Structure 1
Amino acid sequence: MGRNLPYEAAKRLARFGAEPDRLALASLPETRPELLYYLAGDASSAVRGAVAGNTASPAQANRLLAADADPAVRAALGRKLAPQAHALSIAEDRLAAIAWQALCLLAEDAAVHVRAVIAEELKAMPDAPHALILRLAQDAAMAVAEPVIRLSPLLSEEDLLCLVVAPPVPDTLTAVARRPALSESLSDAIAATADEAAIGALLANPSAAIREQTLDGLILQAATRIPWQESLVARPSLPPRAQRALSLCVAGHLLEALTARPDLAPGLAKRLQERVEARLIESASEPSAAALFEAAAMSGDREAMTRLLAREAAVEQRGVEEAIRLRSARALVSLCWQAGFNLRCAMLVQAVLGQIAPGMALLPGPDDGGWPLSTAEMIWQIELLAEPMVRA
C-alpha cells in the first residue's frame, strides 16, 4: 500500500478492504486519526492490535483499546504507552489524561501478560511514576513484579523493606533478595524472615552486602542445606571467621572449591585437606558415632541425634532434651565436646537440634578453629545438665 493514498480511498479501505489492506492502513503513522479510531473497532484483532501499536492513534482509540477483548491488543497498547509514562502522568491536557488513564488500567489488567509487558518497559526507566512502579512491584505475579523489584532505580530502601516485611506473595522476598547491590539492612530483613528460598537467593547474590554476624548465623543454618553451601563457597568475599565456620559446614564435594579460594585464611587450606583425609579414612572403616550423628542431622532425624549425643556424652537423655528445650548453644556445644564429636557436629547440633537463631550461634574460635568455649566452661555446662538428674 502506498503512503500517499488519497483520503477517500483510505476511507473505503477502512470500511470495505480485505484484512491485509486494513492491517496495512492501521499500521501507517500517516493514517488519519479518525480512520484509526474507526479501525480500533475492527472485527480483526490483528487490525486492532496494529492500531494499538500505532503512535498516531488518537487518545480516544487508546481508551477504547484499553478494554479490548483480546489481551494481545491490550499488550500492544501497553507497549506503546509505557515509555511515555512520565510525560503522560504530568501532562495537564485532556488527551494526555485519557492516555494516562488507559495506561493505569493496563497496569491492573486481568491478564498477566499485559501487566508484564508494562513492567518490562518500565523496569529500568529512571523517571517512571513512582506510584506505578510500586504498584507493579506489589504484583502477585512474578513475571510482572520481579523485573521491577530487581531493576527499578525508583524503589527506595523503605519501599523494599516494606516488600520484605509484608510481601504480597512469598516469591516477592526472593525477588528482593536477587536485587543488585542489596544493603546490609535489607539482607538482615531477608535473613530474619527464615524463608529458605529467599535466603538461598540472598546468598547467591554476589553483590548483596551481608553483615558478618548475619552471615555467621546463615552459615550455621547452611550445615544441612547444600544449595546454600554452594552459594557461600562461591561468594566473592568471606571474612576469616566465616571461612572457618564454612570449612566445618560444607559437604565433602565442596571442600575442593573452598580450598581453591584465593582469599583463604592462612592455615585453613591445610585444615581442609586434613578433613578430606579424615573422611577418606573414615569411609574405609566402620562409621564413627560422630559420622552417624552427622548423617542423622543431614536427614533431620532429631530423635537419633538426641540418643547418640546422650550416649556418647554419657549423660541421661533427659539432660540433652533439657538443653534442646532451653535452646542453649553453650550446653549443646559442650555436650558435643564431651561426646568426643568434632566441630562440624557442634554446628549441626545448634542448627538442627537447638534451632538456634541466626546471630546466637557459637562458631569456631579464631585460634586454629578451636572450640568456642573454654574447657572449664564446657565442663561446667555438663555439670549443670547433670545436677537435676542427680537430684531426681
Structure 2
Amino acid sequence: MTPPAAQRPEALDPADYESAKRMVQSQDPAIRRKVAEHPKTRPELLYFLAADAAAEVRRAIATNAGTPRQADLLLAKDREVMVRQAVAQKIARLLPELSADQAIQIERLTVECLETLARDQATEVRGILAEALKDLPNAPHGVINRLARDVELSVCGPVLQHSPILTEEDLTDIIMKGPVRGAMTAIASRQNVTASVADAIARSDDEAAVTALLGNPSAQIREETLDRILDQAPQHEPWHSPLVRRPRLPARAVARLASFVADNLLKVLQDRDDLDPAAARNLVEAVRQRVGQAGAGAAPGLPLGPVDFGEEAVGGAAAGPEKPVERPSDKAARLNKEGKLTEKLIEGSMVEGDRAFVMAALAELSQIELAVVDRIVATHAPRAVTALVWRAGLTMRFARQVQLRLAQIPPKTALNARDGTHYPMTDEEMRWQLEFFGVEAKA
C-alpha cells in the first residue's frame, strides 16, 4: 500500500527527528543528502551518514558545521578527494571564529583531523588547509610545522611566508635541511625576518632567496651578515639593486657597493639622502677611484667633480689617481707576504667589525679555502671554530674572541683556555675536528 503523500520521504521535514530517521533510510541519495546538509540534523544521524555509500551525501556531511568531530575524522580519511577538501575548508573556516573555550575544545577534538588532512596524498587538499591556516594565531603548531615542510611549494609557501606560529628555530631548521625550491624565498619575504634567520638565508646558495631578503625592508640583517653577502655580490647581479636601496647602509658597505655596481645603481646611491657623513665620504672616494680608472674616457653617468652630500662631504678634485679598493683576500695575502698579518692586526679588524677581512685572514693563515672557513664559522660550534684558529697559528686567547665575536657563540658555551693560555684540546682532537670539513693535515 502506498503511503500518504505527507509521509513519503521526499515530503518529510529533516528538521523533525522522526522524519529525519526515516529519510536516512531512503534509497534515494538526494533525500539522504537533505538530511546531511540540514543545519538542525542531530549529530548521531550526521555520524551515521558519514559512512554513506554516496559521495555527494558524505560531502554534504563534510560541509555541515554541526557534524561531530568523530565524523569529521572519518571524512578526513575519505577515499574521495572532494570530501576531504570539504572537511579541510570547513575546519579551517571555523578556527578563526572560535572563542577561547571553543579553541581548547577544537584543539582536543580536531588536531588529529587536521594532522590527517596535512598528510593527505592530494596536494589540493593540503593546499586548501595551508591557505586557510597560514595566518591564524591559534592554529596547531604541529600541523603548521608539517605544512611548512611540505614537498609542494603551493602548500608550504603560504605557511612559510605568513604563519605567526612558526618559530625562529622552526625556520632555521627548515633552511638548514634544504627546503623545496622557492620555499626559502617565501621565508625571506616574511614580515620581520629575525637576524638569525636572515643569517641562515645568507649562508645558502639560493640567489632568489637572498634577493628577496635584501628587498625586504623589515628583515633584520646584521652588519656581518651584510658583509658576507657583499663578499659574493659581484657575482650575483640580482642582488645589486636591492643592496643599494637597503635602508641604513653602513659606511663600509656603501664603499664596497660603489666599487662594483653598474653606473645607474651608483647614481641611486648618490641620490640617497639618508647616508651618514662617513658613508657619504666613502662614496665620494669610490666614485673618484672609478673615474680615475676610467681615465679621460670616464664611464657615462659618473660625475667628474665633487658630489654634493652636504657639509660633511669631501669636495674638490682628487689629488691624483688612487689604487682600486683591495679585496679582503688580496689584502690578507699581501700582508702575510709582507710579514704584517699579525694577531694584533686581525683582532683590531675584528673589533672594528671588518668581518670579511678577518675571515680572509683566517683562510690565509690556515691555508684553508675561504668557503670552508665560512662553513666552519657558520656551525657556531666552539670546538670546530677553536680548531680553525689553532690551524691558523694564533693563540687560544684570540680563539676565544673569534668564538664570541665572529662565530656569535654564547659566552657560556664558548671554550676557555686551559691553564689560562693553552688550547683545551690536543692537536689530534683539533685535526679531527677539521677533518669533518675535508681539511687535510698540513704536510
TM-score, scaled relative to structure 2:
0.56
- Whole-angstrom CA distance in 2 between matches of 1:195 and 1:333: 33
Assess, with a 3 A threshold, how the Cα gap between structure 1 residues 252 and 101 changes in structure 2: closer, same or farther.
same
Assess, with a 3 A threshold, how the Cα gap between structure 1 residues 244 and 273 changes in structure 2: closer, same or farther.
closer
Answering whether residue 67 of structure 2 is matched by residue 57 of structure 1, we say yes
Assess, with a 3 A threshold, how the Cα gap between structure 1 residues 230 and 280 changes in structure 2: closer, same or farther.
farther
Assess, with a 3 A threshold, how the Cα gap between structure 1 residues 147 and 44 changes in structure 2: closer, same or farther.
same
The equivalent position to 1:218 in structure 2, one of 229, 233, 239, is 229
Partner of 1:367: none
- Whole-angstrom CA distance in 1 between matches of 2:52 and 2:44: 13
- Give RMSD over aligned pairs: 4.1
Contact 2:32 2:57 in 1 (8 A): yes
List gaps (5 residues or longer) in structure 1: 285-323, 335-349, 361-392
Q: Which amino acid aligns with 1:115?
A: R
Partner of 2:272: 261
Answering whether residue 128 of structure 2 is matched by residue 122 of structure 1, we say no
The percentage of counterpart residues that share the same residue type is 41
Superposed displacement of residue 359, structure 1: 10
Answering whether residue 242 of structure 2 is matched by residue 228 of structure 1, we say no
Superposed displacement of residue 229, structure 1: 0.9
Answering whether residue 148 of structure 2 is matched by residue 137 of structure 1, we say yes
Q: Secondary structure, in 3 states, of the residue corresponding to 1:194?
A: coil
Contact 1:252 1:276 in 2 (8 A): no
The equivalent position to 2:104 in structure 1, one of 73, 81, 87, is 87
Superposed displacement of residue 240, structure 1: 1.9
Answering whether residue 123 of structure 2 is matched by residue 109 of structure 1, we say no
Answering whether residue 212 of structure 2 is matched by residue 201 of structure 1, we say yes
Q: Secondary structure, in 3 states, of the residue corresponding to 1:223?
A: helix
Contact 1:217 1:359 in 2 (8 A): no
Q: Which amino acid aligns with 1:87?
A: I
More helix by share: 1
Answering whether residue 78 of structure 2 is matched by residue 72 of structure 1, we say no
- Whole-angstrom CA distance in 2 between matches of 1:266 and 1:109: 56
Superposed displacement of residue 80, structure 1: 2.6
Partner of 2:400: none
Contact 2:291 2:298 in 1 (8 A): no
Superposed displacement of residue 52, structure 1: 0.8
Contact 1:187 1:208 in 2 (8 A): yes
Q: Secondary structure, in 3 states, of the residue corresponding to 1:145?
A: helix
Q: Which amino acid aligns with 1:216?
A: D
Superposed displacement of residue 208, structure 1: 1.3
Superposition pairs of residues 1-392 of structure 1, within 5 angstroms: 5-16=15-26, 22-42=32-52, 44-82=54-92, 83=95, 87-88=104-105, 91=108, 96=109, 99-264=110-275, 265-267=279-281, 281=297, 328=330, 330-331=332-333, 357=371
Q: Secondary structure, in 3 states, of the residue corresponding to 2:203?
A: helix
Superposed displacement of residue 180, structure 1: 2.1
Assess, with a 3 A threshold, how the Cα gap between structure 1 residues 280 and 102 changes in structure 2: closer, same or farther.
farther
Question: What's the CA shift string for 1:154-192, capped at 9, x where partnerless?
Answer: 322222222222234354433332222122222222222
Q: Which amino acid aligns with 2:225?
A: T
Assess, with a 3 A threshold, how the Cα gap between structure 1 residues 102 and 266 changes in structure 2: closer, same or farther.
closer
- Whole-angstrom CA distance in 1 between matches of 2:192 and 2:291: 35
Partner of 1:390: none
| Greater RCO (Cα-Cα under 8 Å, separation 6 or more) | 1
Contact 2:255 2:283 in 1 (8 A): no
Higher mean C-alpha displacement, 43-52 vs 203-212 = 43-52
Superposed displacement of residue 261, structure 1: 2.2
Contact 2:13 2:19 in 1 (8 A): no
- Whole-angstrom CA distance in 2 between matches of 1:221 and 1:280: 30
Contact 1:191 1:214 in 2 (8 A): yes
TM-score, scaled relative to structure 1:
0.62
Q: Which amino acid aligns with 2:247?
A: P
Q: Secondary structure, in 3 states, of the residue corresponding to 2:280?
A: coil
- Whole-angstrom CA distance in 2 between matches of 1:26 and 1:108: 26
- Whole-angstrom CA distance in 1 between matches of 2:268 and 2:295: 16
Contact 2:198 2:221 in 1 (8 A): yes
Question: What's the CA shift string for 1:211-257, capped at 9, x where partnerless?
Answer: 11221231232223221112212323311221221122222343333
- Whole-angstrom CA distance in 2 between matches of 1:245 and 1:237: 15
The number of residues matched between the two structures is 297
Q: Which amino acid aligns with 2:210?
A: I
Question: What's the CA shift string for 1:94-147, capped at 9, x where partnerless?
Answer: xx3xx4332221121111222222223333333333333322222222222233
- Whole-angstrom CA distance in 1 between matches of 2:121 and 2:130: 14
